[in-house]
């Protein structure tokens, strides 16, 4: 008797935790289908009296969530992909090519970047982007996103590449393979697990980034999801149902992606933080 009880105690605590995680989502989901503020206020927990799918249509059109979504996706993707490519190339050069001293310097130089907390550079980056004349264009996000991920990516990919045995490319050199084929056909495929980690960390980081996207972009058509949603909330502050609908729109795709890729995402993000 005592043992089954003791076994259920951890479950009780965990179920409480899980409820705390899930209840806000359910509240938002129900609210998004309700007719108006009064219904949310008077029946906060119940199912909506009638399911107002109109909210979804209205939010989609008014909030331009499709535009924000597309912007976020392609910026997060291109910046993460570019970051992966650049860091893999650099990691290859400093771990596999025969310029030991220079490589050591470059490695140390990049390491400095890991010490600088992101938002410290915010103002200076803002002024830089202004000076470059790319404020209010997607370049003002693409470049800092790509650059911001480099120190961590280079370190992680370098660590991984160091562990690949040197015999491999020696054999390739004997076969007369040039350095590009060696990079793309031998080393890169072997590094894929590290690259995937780096890509996921950077993609999610860019996807969720708020500070730069809020202050560097003011054109509605160029906004990303995080800053677009804040703008949407501020414009429709008092229409709770509509804003809840916006939240559902912005959360669901991420959760779907998470449902499919959860193991990869969890591994990637946690590995990323420990190594960093």
Partner 1 sequence: MQKKLVSVLALSVAMSAFLAACGSNENNNTASPSPSESASPSPSPSESAPASESTAPEKVENFTVSLRHIQIGDAQKFRKAILDDVVTKTEADVPGLKIELDGVEDSVNRFTKLPAEMAAGNPPKIFDVFGGSGDTQKYAGAGRMLDLTPILDELGLKDKFLSGVLEPFSVDGKVYGLPIGGNTEGIFYNTELFAKYNLNPPTTWDDLIKAADTLKQNGITPFAVGSKGAWVPNMLVNTFIGRIAGEGTNAGFITGASQWNSPDVVAAYQLFADWEKAGYFTKGELGKEYGDMLNDFVAGKAGMMFDGSWRSSAFKNDAVGAEIAGKVAFVNLPAVPNGKGDQSSVNANYGEGYGFSSDLNDNELKAVKAFIKNMYSEEMQLRGLLEDGVLPSMKLTDVSQVTDPIVKQVLDVLNGATASFPHFDSVVQSKVYTETETQLQKLIAGKATAQEVGTAIQKVQDAENAAAAK
Partner 2 sequence: MRTTLRNPYVYLLFVVPTIALYFLFFIYPMLTSVFYGFTNWNGLDTKDFIGFDNFVNAFKDEDFRNSIWNNLYILLFSCCVQVPLIIVFSLLISSVKRFQGFYKTTVFMPSILSTSVIGILWGYIYDPDVGLINNILKTFGLDPIYFLADTKWALLSILITNAWQWMGFYIVLILAAILGIPKDIDEAAMIDGATGVQRAWYLTVPLIKPIINVVIMLSIAGALRVVDIVLVMTEGGPAGATDVMASYMVNKAIKYGDYGYGTALSIIIFIFALVLTALYQTLVVRRQEKVEY
Residue 106 touches partner 2, criterion: CB under 8 A: yes
x/- map, 67-96, partner 1, by CB under 8 A? x--x---x--xx--xx--x-----------
Nearest residue to 24 (alpha-carbon basis) of 185, 276, 244, 273: 244
**Is residue 219 within the footprint of partner 1 (CB under 8 A)?**
yes
CB-nearer residue toward partner 2: 51 or 122: 122
Q: Tokens 């209205």 sit at which residue? A: 58
Instruction: Write down the least CB distance from residue 176 to partner 2, Å.
Output: 9
**Binding flag, residue 90, partner 2 (CB under 8 A):** yes
Binding mask 3-22 for partner 2 (x = CB under 8 A): ---xx--xx-xx--xx-xxx
Q: Which of 36, 119, 163, 218 binds partner 1 (CB under 8 A)?
A: 218
Contact between 256 and partner 2 by CB under 8 A: the answer reads: no
Question: Is residue 139 close enough to count as binding partner 1 by CB under 8 A?
Answer: yes
For partner 2, the binding residues in 195-224 under the rule CB under 8 A are 204, 207-208, 210-211, 214-215
User: Contact between 178 and partner 1 (CB under 8 A)?
Assistant: no
| Interatomic CA distance for residues 185 and 181, integer angstroms | 5
46-85: contacts with partner 2 (CB under 8 A): none
CB of 130 to partner 1, least distance (A): 4
Between CA 24 and CA 36 the distance in angstroms is: 18
Question: Which residues in 20-39 contact partner 1 (CB under 8 A)?
Answer: 37
Q: Considering only residues 4, 174, 189, 221, which one is a binding residue for partner 2 as defined by CB under 8 A? A: 174
CB atoms near residue 31 (< 10 Å): 23
Residue for token pair 């995402």: 265
Q: Which residues of this protein are in contact with partner 1, per CB under 8 A?
A: 37, 61, 64, 66-67, 70, 74, 77-78, 81-82, 85, 126, 130-131, 133-139, 142, 184-185, 188-189, 192, 215, 218-222, 231, 234-239
């Amino acid at each position: 008797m005592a043992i089954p009880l003791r076994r259920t105690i951890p479950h009780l605590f965990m179920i409480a935790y899980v409820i705390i995680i899930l209840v806000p989502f359910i509240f938002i989901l129900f609210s998004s289908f309700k007719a108006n503020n009064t219904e949310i206020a008077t029946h906060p927990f119940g199912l909506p009296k009638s399911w107002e799918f109109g909210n979804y249509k209205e939010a989609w059109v008014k909030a331009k969530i499709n535009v924000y979504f597309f912007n976020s996706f392609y910026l997060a993707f291109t910046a993460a992909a570019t970051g992966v490519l650049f860091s893999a190339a650099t990691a290859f050069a400093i771990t596999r090519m025969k310029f030991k001293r220079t490589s050591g310097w470059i490695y140390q130089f990049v390491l400095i970047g890991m010490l600088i907390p992101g938002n410290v550079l915010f103002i200076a980056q803002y002024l830089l982007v202004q000076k470059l004349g790319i404020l209010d264009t997607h370049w003002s996000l693409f470049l800092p996103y790509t650059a911001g991920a480099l120190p961590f990516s280079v370190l992680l990919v370098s660590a991984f590449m160091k562990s690949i045995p040197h015999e491999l490319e020696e054999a390739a050199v004997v076969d007369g393979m040039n350095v590009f084929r060696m990079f793309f056909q031998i080393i890169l495929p072997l590094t894929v697990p590290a690259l995937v980690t780096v890509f996921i960390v950077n993609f999610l980081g860019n996807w969720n980034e708020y500070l730069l996207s809020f202050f560097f972009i003011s054109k509605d058509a160029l906004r990303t999801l995080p800053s677009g949603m804040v703008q949407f909330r501020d414009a429709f502050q008092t229409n709770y149902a509509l804003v809840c609908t916006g939240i559902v729109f912005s959360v669901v795709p991420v959760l779907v992606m998470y449902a499919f890729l959860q193991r990869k995402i969890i591994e990637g993000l946690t590995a990323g933080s420990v190594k960093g």
